Structure 1
Amino acid sequence: MSIEEIKSRLTIAEVLQHYNLNPNKNNMLRCPFHEDKTASLQVSFTQNKYKCHACDKKGDVIQFVQDYEKLTKHEAILKCASLANESMSQLQPIPTTTAKHITHNLEHITFLEKMYLSFRKAIFNSPPAKEYCSSRNLDFEKLDIGFNSGQFHHGARKDEKLINTCLEYGLLSKGGTNSRTGGQAYKPFGNRSIVFPLKNKENQIVSFYFRSIVTTSPPLEGCLKGGVVSKHFYLKNRQGLYPNYPNPDTKKLLLTEAIIDTASLLQIDAIAANYSLLTCYGTNGLNEEILNALKPLKQLEEIIFFFDGDKAGNEAVTKYAEILRELHPKAKISQVETPQEEDINSLLQGHESEILTHLIEQRKDVIATTRETKQEAISSFSIEDTSHFNGELAKQTIKVEPKQEVQKATPESKKQITNNGQPITFLQQENLLQELNKLIEQSGIVGEENSRLLLFIIASSYKTKQPLHAIVQGSSGSGKTHLISKIADIIPQEDVLRFTRITESSLYNWGEYELVNKLLIIEDLDGLKEEAMFAMRELISNQRLSSSVSIKDKKGNIKSTKKEVKGVFSSLSATTKGEIYEDNMSRSFLLAIDESTAQSRRIIDYQNKKYAGEIEPKDQEKARNKLQQIVRALQNYDVINPYATKLELPQEVHKIRRLNEMFQSIVRQITLLNQRDRALKNDKLITQIEDLQQATEVLFESIILKVDELDGSLRQFFEKLKKHLKTQEKDFTQREIRQAFNMSKSQCSRFIIQLVELEYLITMNKGNLRKICYKVDYWDDYQKLRIKIKEKLLLQIEKLRPNTTE
């Protein structure tokens, strides 16, 4: 077999497939010949060649095999001959007519790809096209978009072969006689339109979709009856998919109604990276080619519809869902709830791109219809593709028989969807927080009644737009890390990120949306350096990190770009040194671990029962699973608190502005937890007085810590010390306190030094310079302050209650 025969029989696509290399939608892949972090190697299927823009490797199939396997030229030729023989052995003899057809198809593809390159260059030189893309929030530099100015057959470009080929493929039609020259005039198809390429299974361009940028007269080709100007055009005998055929390894497939909708999603990295996208060409456009493209997807786990929020879009989802359920019975079918009369692109024009990711994340399951309705949907689905030429809009006629109204999900049916309704029913209880607290205890968290409930409320806020944060402070070995880890266990594990350590710049290197709607567990804040603490503060305060970074483009050039990380997450952290993190503590709820003797006794009793086999691990696991299901069942609503202006926090609180915002946030989160028992007004939950009272009860200890200048562990030590001394006049030594409290020397010394620095204690030498004694200098009435603050808060709430007496 000669070298020319090898090259003619063996395609670059077959070589790449042999080495399991898959180009992307732009026919680019990471170069295997150098360390390539971005796709730099360009593949030309029509020329059967490749070229790397970074390392300048290029050539044909033989050169690729030689470079890839590091062979000699002779060895590479033998290898390619073997591959060509394998390829030929799998083929039947090709009839002459078929061979001509294949040759014609290759010529067709080659011509369309050259035309698209022309369209692609034109968009960069057309201000109207760029303005139109900007008005639709389409990034033409990032997306595969061209522009047809209608000039490709004029002037120096005028060529008889070009014109005849354009006439054959539908890009031109004859338009009578030119009034100036007397020669033949031509009408360009899709004139003044942006152009999207449609591709076949081999990722080759086989057709175009045109979207007119002209919104006023004069009428364009494709004018429909009644003088209405058409804006959408396909070439005749339309084929190909947009943006391309799905990857065989696709697990989550997102279907849209229109090409511009798909393009809108493609430019959002968080969506393009996690979903395969495919356009359905309208509510009647799920054609045979699309269905055939979906059949081989053996790993498909979920099909997601993101159609327009109108009646036609919803009906199409119902119809298509049953067809695809027959095609992939094991795949989950879900639907993004698009706002009424909106579509993907209109949402992108009016909002930040985050709304699209949020809507996708909040998608709902499409409920299977009855057998009769399913059969009706399938039997009524009949498409006749009548794509036309000569400037007419490509049409699809649909034959729809009358069908039954599909029953929508009711609150009762939703109970059956979510684990037989158990989480929904649980959320409908009047004493919900108390029952949740019992369930938290059953999951394995002993004592800490208020703290564990507050931490659960804070952790569950990760699903909202304004998530909450908490820092648990306690001495070494007090169980603070154990507590937050146990809370993390009762949150859906797919949404939890646990960190023992965070390096200085690691938070800047997350993907833009990888920290959105997550719960972060930081086991020890003491291990974080200042740069990491700064990044954490910025994420909590501003919900984003923005940095300028250097990257290498596909040609290997280094350029600067903006990298942004969204930080819409809740967090639980633990520390022994609360006073060090003043800036972080002011942004978070502060909780002190219970280090009392009574709590130690409860933990020891629990441990003993566990080892004695009196506690059943399956019961704990059951409680954890139930709490996770409850969190999953929560829906995100906006909350209105009509009492927000009528409740004041104590003026003694440090940084009262932030604490007031945090208090209102807890009220909002408690209202959300009680959503099944709260009124809705304009799709917003209304806070009740009970929510205020529950927030005050559960948040009281954290408010007290904000009032107190001593952190939680230090306050517990000082109160225990006062109880031991009984009077302010009595002096003491460190040894006396260590023995009385059964405390280590380092821990006792650290507490006493802090109290001396804060002028709560003074030192005394008592005639012996070696023996240092201490005495309480400031004997505050902490308990009295607690009672005063709580009474003040509860009295305000009582005054808000309606007077029921006559």
Structure 2
Amino acid sequence: MEISAIKQRLSLSEVLKHYSLEPKNSMLKCCWHNDNTASLQVNLEKNFYKCHACGKTGDVIQFIEDYEKISKHEAIKKAEGLMNNEQLSVKNIRGTADNLGQTDFSGERSALFLENTFSYFRKALYCSNPAKQYIEKRNLDNSILEIGYNSGQFHHGERKSEELINNALEVGLLQDKGLINNRTGEKGYSIFANKCIAFPLKNKENEIVSFYFRAIVENKNGKHFYLKNRSGIYPGYPKSDTKKLILTEAIIDCASLLQIKEIRENYSLISCFGTNGLNEEILKAIEDLPELEEIIFCFDHDKAGKEAIEKYAKMFNDHLVMSQGFFSFVELPNKDVNETLQLHDEEIFTKLLEERKFIFSDEENGSGVADHLQPKSVENTGISTKENLLSGNRTQTNDLQNPIDFLQQKELLQNLNRLIEKAGIIGEENSRLLLFLITISYLNKSPLHGIVQGSSGSGKTHIISRIADMMPQEDVLRFTRITESSLYNWGEFDLFQKIIIIEDLDGLKEDALYALREFISNQVLRSSVTIKDKKGNNKSSHKIVKGQFSSLSATTKGELYEDNMNRSFIVAINESEEQTEKIISYQNRRNAGEIDRSVQEKAIGFIQKIVRNLKHYEVINPYATQIQLPNNVKNKRRLNEMFQSIIKQITIIHQYQRRVASDNYLITEIEDIENAVEILFESIILKIDELDGSLRQFFEKLKKAFKEESFTRFDAMEVTGFKKTQLQFYLNDLVRLEYLKQIGFANKGFKYKISYSDNIQKVRKDLKEAFTKQLEELKVNATEHKRTPNGSETNTRILTKSDE
């Protein structure tokens, strides 16, 4: 019987009466602590209790569990007995299990242990931020679904016992590899499927008989894990009156559909264990459905998924006797069910099911599987062929179809840049695109980092906040301030695959900057901390925080954070009059109601879906040795690595247009290098220039206005538009760097004269020409390689690798 049904039919007053407990004025003496005055309040109308002293609270099943000190499974059995007027004791409930010896760990004893373990897994999920963030990222609702988390702690603390260890070894949750704890001398065990979310597999009696585990972090041993001697079905055996059954390829796909109310109420669901995972137990369960009319395949939208549908449809057609003989499949707009759920509203599945295609239908004369099921190339089955199917999806706008359609466009970066402008960043064309590429690197093994530099009020915080708005919000952490020790105190995986936004780098103390610098360089912080043991004694411990994150920061300063800046891309805010006019014009139009705010929100939402649709790839750049940075750049070694990283990011964002090698590597094209040079050009200039971005713009205005003339700070204020404090700060910097000469005395007012007029425009021109020359040579060499025998062999090798 379902737990919800038990709670509806069994009242708390019946349970209290069974235990001879009579509340007075809805109060009882608490059973779980030494209670001199009645502090346990019972609400007999809502079947709820709460102790105002010790905090115990719960429903009828929880009361039985707490009162008799039994497991959840035993409490449910007891509650069912009370409903049937059976005076069951704990001994009656446990009878069968207690009679089973340790050598025969099967049946009810095994189910009871797995039920208790899964109860612990469910509680562990609520205590783990990485696990909660993972299921949120996958759009899974743990308030509807049965999802747990194996934190690796289920056999520690008060729960630890010899019986628990033996049971865990028997089912395979622990593995004996002869480990010894060096500190305590106790025997240690390897934990199976550690740091994985867990889904229960159930038998015909709806008992948990096994688990499926999915890793939430990168695991060298794989992503998917099952207990030994796997049995059971997810989410459970279908009801005997099932008429329409949906088969999915994977458990997370099945869970994605299971949380949609309309599907849950009108269909039964079973998950296969992959394209070759329709096993005997699932087949038998389907064969035992007397009223089954239709099987609907909801497999991945790839070659393997289509071939599996074809194979299983033929098998069912030969062996199953169904009242209608119908088999159908859903053609997904994205790779799989879960990805479709992430990129669309759940209503799309109603539309997809309505538009499902039948196999062996009359119009196809029953002659095998329909032609439209046969595997086709990506080019022939692109999302654009499904316009009528997706016409009701709100993610579409007048010029946007679907994230994958968008990512397949020829001029992807130009169109993406225009979309970013629609999302609210005006001007700053190359800067905003560079910041976007930096930010989406948080899913890669080597994320990137950016620092936006500008004077006070220039809009530097606005641009990084807007870029953050375009990212999946569950992955974004925004900070106004970071204290000296705060980065050391996060959980081990709390900053894994995250985006960190620091609104004001100027407010960070040196220790905080050091921690951030080390985090960026090594992706891990290790600290020795003092903790108290169970006896209250102080002892040393080793704390680790892993940080695979990208970051954006804003600052008004430059050289003060040189060590941090060397590890980051520097982006200077455009403070020109032209850019100011663009921003003011946009602000005025927005305030006048001429700009539709819904267009901006739709653009932000669509960009978020684009980011969610990007997958991580390693990248091979066959041209990496053929293009060089200029010799006069500062920190050339680090900048070269950053330059190559941006090329990789541009290749990754073109992943739907680039060749993929057999070992899952994307191959960079010359076009990606051209785009990287264009986008990164200003950042490279800043690395060459002695002046930071805003100071350079200030100095160029002075050079243009005064040339050989002397000027006062009031003259500079009129020309540049800066107020007293910021103006004096810049003037002092330029005097210190000997770009300006200070004339006169303070009591009479200083005058200034340009003492060093460098030609930054010539530097820009020379750098541009150097890159252009190298790119032209790349293109010529690539053409010659295709024509010459040796070049043909090289080109063929790359093509063969990707074609595999």
Scaled to the shorter chain, the TM-score interval is 0.5 to 0.7
The one of 692, 697, 710 aligned to 1:731: 710
Rounded Cα–Cα distance in structure 2 between residues aligned with 1:594 and 1:464: 29
Residues 278 and 734 of structure 1, relative CA distance in 2, 3 Å threshold: same
Partner AA of 1:446 in structure 2:
I
Stretches of structure 2 that go unaligned for 5 or more consecutive residues are 1-15, 23-29, 33-38, 43-50, 57-62, 110-150, 178-191, 241-251, 306-335, 342-348, 361-367, 788-804
Structure 2 counterpart SS, 1:680 = coil
Rounded Cα–Cα distance in structure 2 between residues aligned with 1:46 and 1:413: 56
Give the superposition deviation at 1:35: 11
Equivalent residues, number = 588
CA contact (8 A) 2:454 2:694 kept: yes
Partner AA of 1:686 in structure 2:
I
Q: What is residue 94 of structure 2 aligned with on the other side? A: 106
Residues 265 and 605 of structure 1, relative CA distance in 2, 3 Å threshold: closer
CA contact (8 A) 1:46 1:109 kept: no
Give the superposition deviation at 1:318: 11
Rounded Cα–Cα distance in structure 2 between residues aligned with 1:306 and 1:707: 58
CA contact (8 A) 2:408 2:657 kept: yes
Partner AA of 1:601 in structure 2:
E
Residues 33 and 314 of structure 1, relative CA distance in 2, 3 Å threshold: farther
Structure 2 counterpart SS, 1:658 = helix
Give the superposition deviation at 1:696: 0.2
Does 1:312 find its partner at 2:277? Answer: yes
Q: What is residue 626 of structure 2 aligned with on the other side? A: 646
Give the superposition deviation at 1:576: 0.7
Does 1:633 find its partner at 2:598? Answer: no
Partner AA of 1:597 in structure 2:
E
Give the superposition deviation at 1:264: 7.5
The one of 409, 423, 434 aligned to 1:454: 434
Partner AA of 2:673 in structure 1:
L
Give the superposition deviation at 1:507: 2.0
Does 1:795 find its partner at 2:740? Answer: no
The one of 720, 725, 729 aligned to 1:750: 729
Question: What pairs up with 1:331-346 in 2 under 5 angstroms?
Answer: none
Structure 1 counterpart SS, 2:615 = coil
Q: What is residue 399 of structure 1 aligned with on the other side? A: none
Rounded Cα–Cα distance in structure 2 between residues aligned with 1:558 and 1:757: 52
Q: What is residue 537 of structure 1 aligned with on the other side? A: 517
Rounded Cα–Cα distance in structure 1 between residues aligned with 2:275 and 2:65: 41
Q: What is residue 463 of structure 1 aligned with on the other side? A: 443
The one of 674, 690, 701 aligned to 2:671: 690
CA contact (8 A) 2:168 2:174 kept: no
Q: What is residue 445 of structure 1 aligned with on the other side? A: 425
Structure 1 counterpart SS, 2:671 = helix
Does 1:774 find its partner at 2:719? Answer: no
Give the superposition deviation at 1:612: 2.2
Residues 311 and 740 of structure 1, relative CA distance in 2, 3 Å threshold: same
Rounded Cα–Cα distance in structure 2 between residues aligned with 1:336 and 1:724: 63
Rounded Cα–Cα distance in structure 2 between residues aligned with 1:685 and 1:673: 11
Structure 2 counterpart SS, 1:796 = helix
Does 1:718 find its partner at 2:699? Answer: yes
Rounded Cα–Cα distance in structure 1 between residues aligned with 2:155 and 2:720: 69
Question: What pairs up with 1:368-767 in 2 under 5 angstroms?
Answer: 411=378, 412=381, 422-551=402-531, 560-682=540-662, 683-727=664-708, 730-765=709-744
Residues 666 and 717 of structure 1, relative CA distance in 2, 3 Å threshold: same
Rounded Cα–Cα distance in structure 1 between residues aligned with 2:526 and 2:40: 39
Question: What pairs up with 1:347-358 in 2 under 5 angstroms?
Answer: none
Partner AA of 1:576 in structure 2:
T
Give the superposition deviation at 1:573: 0.8
Residues 737 and 282 of structure 1, relative CA distance in 2, 3 Å threshold: same
Alignment TM-score, normalising by the size of structure 2 = 0.60
Rounded Cα–Cα distance in structure 2 between residues aligned with 1:428 and 1:296: 29
Deviation string 1:632-655 (CA, Å, 9 cap, x unpaired) is: 221221111001111110111111
Question: What pairs up with 1:75-474 in 2 under 5 angstroms?
Answer: 91-94=83-86, 103-109=91-97, 142=156, 195-196=167-168, 209=171, 254-255=199-200, 282=230, 285=233, 311-312=276-277, 364=339, 411=378, 412=381, 422-474=402-454
Q: What is residue 331 of structure 2 aligned with on the other side? A: none
Rounded Cα–Cα distance in structure 1 between residues aligned with 2:603 and 2:494: 28
Does 1:784 find its partner at 2:732? Answer: no
Deviation string 1:45-98 (CA, Å, 9 cap, x unpaired) is: 699459xxxxxxxxxx9xxxxxxxxxxxxxxxxxxxxxxxx989964433xxxx
RMSD, aligned α-carbons: 5.9
Give the superposition deviation at 1:305: 10
Residues 308 and 540 of structure 1, relative CA distance in 2, 3 Å threshold: farther
CA contact (8 A) 2:211 2:226 kept: yes
Residues 492 and 140 of structure 1, relative CA distance in 2, 3 Å threshold: closer
Partner AA of 1:196 in structure 2:
A
Stretches of structure 1 that go unaligned for 5 or more consecutive residues are 22-30, 37-42, 51-60, 62-85, 120-136, 150-192, 198-207, 216-241, 244-251, 341-360, 377-401
Rounded Cα–Cα distance in structure 2 between residues aligned with 1:281 and 1:650: 61
Residues 106 and 260 of structure 1, relative CA distance in 2, 3 Å threshold: closer
Larger relative contact order (C-alpha < 8 A, sep ≥ 6)?
A: 1
Give the superposition deviation at 1:504: 2.4
Give the superposition deviation at 1:503: 2.4
CA contact (8 A) 1:257 1:307 kept: no
Rounded Cα–Cα distance in structure 1 between residues aligned with 2:744 and 2:52: 76
Between stretches 633-642 and 414-423, larger displacement belongs to 414-423
Q: What is residue 147 of structure 2 aligned with on the other side? A: none
Partner AA of 2:410 in structure 1:
E
Rounded Cα–Cα distance in structure 2 between residues aligned with 1:599 and 1:362: 44
Rounded Cα–Cα distance in structure 1 between residues aligned with 2:301 and 2:541: 32
Rounded Cα–Cα distance in structure 2 between residues aligned with 1:781 and 1:45: 81
Higher Rg: 1
Partner AA of 1:282 in structure 2:
R
Structure 1 counterpart SS, 2:167 = strand
Residues 581 and 32 of structure 1, relative CA distance in 2, 3 Å threshold: farther
Partner AA of 2:732 in structure 1:
I
Give the superposition deviation at 1:138: 8.3
Rounded Cα–Cα distance in structure 1 between residues aligned with 2:761 and 2:358: 68
Give the superposition deviation at 1:433: 0.9
CA contact (8 A) 1:469 1:570 kept: yes
Deviation string 1:163-221 (CA, Å, 9 cap, x unpaired) is: xxxxxxxxxxxxxxxxxxxxxxxxxxxxxx96338xxxxxxxxxx64799899xxxxxx
Give the superposition deviation at 1:506: 2.2
Residues 414 and 211 of structure 1, relative CA distance in 2, 3 Å threshold: same
Give the superposition deviation at 1:562: 3.4
Alignment TM-score, normalising by the size of structure 1 = 0.60
CA contact (8 A) 1:317 1:335 kept: no
Residues 413 and 692 of structure 1, relative CA distance in 2, 3 Å threshold: closer
Rounded Cα–Cα distance in structure 2 between residues aligned with 1:320 and 1:438: 53
Give the superposition deviation at 1:475: 0.5
CA contact (8 A) 1:537 1:584 kept: yes
CA contact (8 A) 1:283 1:312 kept: no
Structure 1 counterpart SS, 2:526 = strand
Structure 2 counterpart SS, 1:196 = helix
Structure 1 counterpart SS, 2:230 = coil
Rounded Cα–Cα distance in structure 2 between residues aligned with 1:322 and 1:637: 42
Give the superposition deviation at 1:613: 2.2
Partner AA of 2:705 in structure 1:
H
Rounded Cα–Cα distance in structure 1 between residues aligned with 2:643 and 2:95: 69
